[in-house]
Amino acid sequence: MIEQLLTSKEVADKLQIKETTVREWARIGILKAIRVGRYWRFRSNDLDNWLKGRERPEKKRFSLEGMIENGQVDEKALDEVTKIWESRELQ
């Protein structure tokens, strides 16, 4: 059985982006696609896998003060982080 292929318009609708963007992403390899004549076609599974790979893991929150209190960060490391932070604020 042949898998149903999606058109660039269908992919654009699913991603809520412009169809020209979908075609450009296919052309440069961001999205896995099949060239059929002058048209791009997309496998649903490839699109689903691409979307899963784009999911961001949940950010973990932490307190630097808490890490120091628990002995996870020493004062020397804190001084280094502070220097880096201050140098970035000056830029």
- Report the relative pairing of strands 34-36 and 39-43 from DSSP bridges: antiparallel
Q: Do the Cβ atoms of 31 and 25 come closer than 8 Å? A: yes
Residue 91 confidence (pLDDT): 54
Q: What is the pLDDT of residue 63?
A: 64
- 30-68 pLDDT, tens digit per residue, is 999 999 999 999 999 999 999 988 766 666 666 666 666
DSSP single-letter state for residue 3: P
Confidence check: pLDDT of 13 > 90: yes
- The reply to whether the predicted model has a pTM over 0.75 is no
